[in-house]
Structure 1
């Protein structure tokens, strides 16, 4: 299987796994003039953010590192936080969406255990895993890598920062490499996404060689 995500037409043999989470914080509504009498859900959310930042610091200084990645360690990221209705009302509900992008040596279950330890027994905080996908780790010497190298014309195997469905295919026993036109870091996930014509031509060349091989 060739997963056609943007790798600048180099064979990509690795990416991190991902787990997405939602933290739901339950407080108690009340007038802000009496705020200390109530549980502020945004304060609970702030505790979650502090725990996530502490875990990120631990990953950054841990022994689990892979220099082939743009960021050599597992990363923790909070993407959205919502809560509160008015300045003079103590918020009774807040939510944070956050994620873990992990190296194969850093498992999701271990992250969840460490997060629970950081938060402690704080009442009113619920953590739910909403989505996961496995990482990809292919040996540079694997035959599928040599085959894609011949098709794309590059022996510069890389690992990419973003995730793909490649891990699902490898779990099914299908040899898989990621290779496609474009650069996610420079051209993707922002306004005016684009592909260079030279990259499209290189991809056409790979597909022509693949079709000729299959026929």
Structure 2
């Protein structure tokens, strides 16, 4: 056996003995991942659910600036747990121009401003908000939800009024069958894949 190989073998043996003797290394390699991964999978969804519940409980104040608002949209706003104050729409070239309203958003007296104007058959809008305020972001999110629901209902209404089938017109591409059956990977393979994504982080 050559001397270089003996040296490598001796050094490797020494390192292995030190590695086994160091209980902290073994703990870090074996125990910490075994504890960390279950905690991540259990605590992370709980934290997200808690955050969502906290946001839902927040009361947000919104100013709606508009000369006229569709009745259904007004009802959607009322159901979206928004404290709404209506104001006339100021003269603006673009609805997204703050035009002096930024101070009300910055000082927290209101959380968002929704501007609406009817342009022929199109309802144009802009939402002014403060991106550094969690409450303002929540107000913006709830406003978008209400606007999205109104847009969906209005789209269906207009399609029906044109004599078309809204379901076929808006959804021409559909999945057939159970989407869960299309993945042929076993649960073990899926778990292994998920675990392999976290292992490099350790």
Structures share a fold, TM > 0.5?
no
Which is helix-richer, 1 or 2? 2
- Output the TM-score relative to the length of structure 1: 0.22
- Output the TM-score relative to the length of structure 2: 0.23
Larger radius of gyration: 2
Which is strand-richer, 1 or 2? 1
Higher relative CO (Cα under 8 Å, sequence separation at least 6) belongs to: 1
